[in-house]
Structure 1
Amino acid sequence: MKNWDDLAERVLQGYELTDVEALNILDCPDEELLSLLQSAYKIRNHYYGNKVKLNMIINTKSGLCPENCGYCSQSSVSNAPIDKYRMMDKASIIKGAAQAHDLNVGTYCIVASGRGPFNKEIDEVASAVKDIKAQYQMKVCACLGLLKPEQAAKLKEAGVDRYNHNINTSANHHENITTSHTYQDRVKTVELIKQAGISPCSGVIIGMKETKDDVIAMARSLKVLDADSIPVNFLHAIDGTPLEGTNELNPRYCLKVLCFMRFINPTKEIRISGGREVNLRSLQPLGLFPANSIFVGDYLTTAGQEETADHQMLTDLGFEIDYCPA
């Protein structure tokens, strides 16, 4: 049996895992899983205590995307029967923020499909963000695709706190998932938002036929990028997408991935994101021992768990909602 607790103590002292140690976590025997979770919690508790950050998504523009991402129901190569609509108006975006505020959500995530936003879409989002900040004082995250420097500057001026642009997978596996943009395009966008003074959010999707070496590479890339928030998505394979029928994950492996992310990026917000309900299933509560953040409500084109069930889960665990007004 590995001494996971000793490894956690070393991480708290600044130690960086070797690739062998990283692989050991992903290959952790199931009978050692509770011990691994306890050790990951030691790191999480050191930096975040028993607090959990809540995030909520509004899908302000759905479908109609020219990109060919294999996991996405909104992409040009998807035949999934989803709602398709252009950018919501300002009033609708603000209405979503009001709902998020009522649910004690700390970060409201404004998401739009597409390769990148048109300037008029940036203007609509920026105008809405100014009003949201004035009315609700909540943190706002935008996720609008590849940005230009002047667009990033406008979002910063409007009050956007954080910008999400996931690397999704490893550099080596990227072309197996999409060819309409490069891995480096994604990295450049994260660097651009950092230069604009916006907090970077970047994460991954697990379960897209990647290797464990790919998972290790993802975590190390996010460490180099210095992403403040790391959403860990677990593939929810949607019928009509190229990854339809992919089912590589089980709840125990998902928990090991979350622990691994905590060991590699100990100080960062680790968020259990899309696919939580269908992949962690009855083990969802255990995910909050390594992770300190979750989405509540629905995702982009798939349904999430009832918000009341999420709040009850946190209460049952003895965790506290970390509501951090901006």
Structure 2
Amino acid sequence: MNWSTLANEVINGKVLTEEESLEILTSEDDEILSLLHGAFLIRKHYYGKKVKLNMIVNTKSGLCPENCGYCSQSSISTAPIEKYRMMNKESILEGAERAYNLKVGTYCIVASGRGPSEKELDTVVSAVKDIKDQFGLKVCACLGLLKPGQAGRLKEAGVDRYNHNINTSKEHHESITTSHTYDNRVQTIEAVKASGISPCSGVIIGMRETKKDVVNMAFSLRALDADSIPVNFLHAIDGTPLEGTDELDPRYCLKVLALFRYINPTKEIRISGGREVNLRSLQPLGLYAANSIFVGDYLTTRGQESTSDHEMLKDLGFEVEFDFEDQEAVRV
């Protein structure tokens, strides 16, 4: 396969076939640089050399009734994590100030649980209004399954984006969780879109799925028209059903990122949880396909120092794209 030729065809409107998509994931390791060059042609066409930075605040930890097999916060996990109920507005605002000082454009307010109570939603709504007034940050909320009317309240408060990952393929979903369905997740994404909030939905790679499952995930997110696609790589946590799972290597992770770029050429592709432990020394190469990363820590696992991320972007010659109001992208 000539990956540059395929990339230019994608730029001109081609949609990959399943066979071409699987060929990306099964390509020889010797082809990685040419595969990534093709991915970069697509990325550069739509995003130039800009990189979006995102930061998470874990506003509620543990105490979740769901049985997701990858999650240390689930009801079936025995992982020794910190557990606490919804933090107050002041703590959420402190996190927003840290994000602003780190030149983070999107501040992600995340809470464990099946979905937010009205009291929890009140806290988020109030905090978002103050974040907009004080810092002008782009805000992404990730609060689980939404009830009727809740997406509208978030939109009115100023939430720009809502994250609800499909996590895996529809065919593999019941192998990961049975406390909610794949369709439940899709319904929340559709409700978010209907409210006028930008949809963010992604995946977790390395949960014993097949390569065909990975291809199906990428096409499902294309069909959902998710604006932002976080690609997580499983960081298996002791005490969860996926404890000890270790299916990934850095080269395969790069092929996955390339796949998502070829299939979703115009979308924000974000290297998310598990990038440090799975991409390891090849992390910089991932940004030739992706155009967004998380900085700082994740929900219950640590990320690398934000200064290391900024140094990586500087060494690559990439730019941080601010999502603050009335500000342009500036060089790191």
Partner SS for 1:149: coil
Query: Which residue does the alignment assign to 1:159?
Result: 158
SS in 1 for 2:154: helix
SS in 1 for 2:141: strand
Amino acid at match of 1:18: T
Q: What RMSD over aligned residues (CA atoms) do the two structures have, in Å? A: 0.4
The code of the aligned residue for 2:61 comes to: S
Deviation of 1:324 (Å): 1.6
Q: SS at the partner of 1:247? A: coil
Residue deviations 1:23-74, cap 9 Å, x none?
A: 0000110001000001100000000000000000000000000000000000
* Structure 2 segments unaligned to the other structure (5+ residues): 326-332
The within-5 A match list for 1:52-91 is 52-91=51-90
- CA shift at 1:125, angstroms? 0.3
Q: C-alpha displacement at 1:289, in angstroms? A: 0.2
CA contact (8 A) 1:251 1:283 kept: yes
For the residues of structure 1 that align with 2:134 and 2:270, how far apart are their CA atoms? 26
Opposite residue 132 of structure 1, the aligned amino acid is: I
Which residue of structure 2 aligns with residue 10 of structure 1? Answer: 9
Q: Any idea what SS the aligned residue of 1:304 has?
A: coil
Q: Is the 8 A contact 1:202 1:227 kept in 2?
A: yes
Equivalent in the alignment of 1:248: 247
Q: Which residue of 1 aligns with 2:329?
A: none
Letter in 2 for 1:134: D
Partner residue in 2 for 1:149: 148
State the alpha-carbon separation in 1 of the partners of residues 27 and 40 from structure 2. Answer: 16
TM-score by length of 2: 0.98
Alpha-carbon offset, residue 242 of structure 1: 0.2
Residue by residue over 1:107-138, the C-alpha shift from the partner in whole angstroms, topping out at 9 and shown as x without a partner, is 00000000000001000000000000011111
1:111-126 residue pairs with structure 2 within 5 A? 111-126=110-125
Q: Which one-letter code corresponds to 1:7 in the other structure?
A: L
Deviation at 1:150, TM superposition (A): 1.2
Aligned to 2:330: none
* 1:149–1:196 contact (8 Å) kept in structure 2: no
Q: Spell out the pairing of 1:34-49 with structure 2 (5 A cutoff).
A: 34-49=33-48
Other structure's SS at 1:55 match = strand
Quick one: distance in 2 between partners of 1:67 and 1:237? 18
Residues of 1 paired with 2:109 and 2:30: CA distance? Answer: 40
Give the secondary-structure state (helix, strand or coil) at the position aligned to 2:9.
helix
Give the number of aligned pairs. Answer: 325
Query: Separation in 2 of the partners of 1:5 and 1:35?
Result: 7
Aligned to 2:149, the other structure's residue is in SS state helix
In structure 2, C-alpha distance between the alignment counterparts of 1:90 and 1:323, rounded to whole Å: 24
- Secondary structure of the 2:108 match is strand
Report the Cα distance in structure 1 between the residues aligned to 2:22 and 2:220, rounded to whole angstroms. Answer: 16
Deviations 1:162-221 (A, max 9, x none): 000000000000000000000000000000000011000000000000000000110010
- The CA deviation at 1:325 is 1.4
Give the aligned partner of residue 235 of structure 2.
236
Checking the alignment, whether the CA contact within 8 Å between 1:8 and 1:263 is kept in structure 2 is yes
C-alpha distance in structure 2 between counterparts of 1:231 and 1:108, whole Å: 14
- Aligned letter for 2:178? T
Is the 1:142–1:162 Cα contact (8 Å) retained in structure 2? yes
Residue 21 of structure 1 is matched in structure 2 by: 20
Contact residue 62 and residue 84 of structure 1 kept, 8 A = yes
Within 5 A, what are the aligned runs for 1:259-278? 259-278=258-277
Q: Which amino acid aligns with 1:126?
A: V
Query: Which amino acid in 2 is paired with 1:52?
Result: V
Give the residue type in structure 1 aligned to 2:317: G
Question: 1:205·1:235 contact (CA, 8 Å) conserved in 2?
Answer: yes
Distance 1:96 1:154 in 2: 22
Whole-angstrom CA distance in 1 between matches of 2:59 and 2:280: 28
Deviation at 1:149, TM superposition (A): 2.5
Q: State yes or no: 1:221 paired with 2:220.
A: yes
Report the Cα distance in structure 1 between the residues aligned to 2:86 and 2:7, rounded to whole angstroms: 45
In 2, Cα distance between equivalents of 1:155 and 1:75: 25
Residue 101 of structure 1 is matched in structure 2 by 100
For 2:195, the aligned partner's letter is A
User: Following the alignment from structure 1 to structure 2, what is the Cα–Cα distance between the partners of residues 54 and 69?
Assistant: 27
Residue 210 of structure 1: aligned partner: 209
Q: Please give the TM-score of this superposition, normalised by the length of structure 1.
A: 0.99
Q: How does 1:297-312 map to 2 (within 5 A)?
A: 297-312=296-311
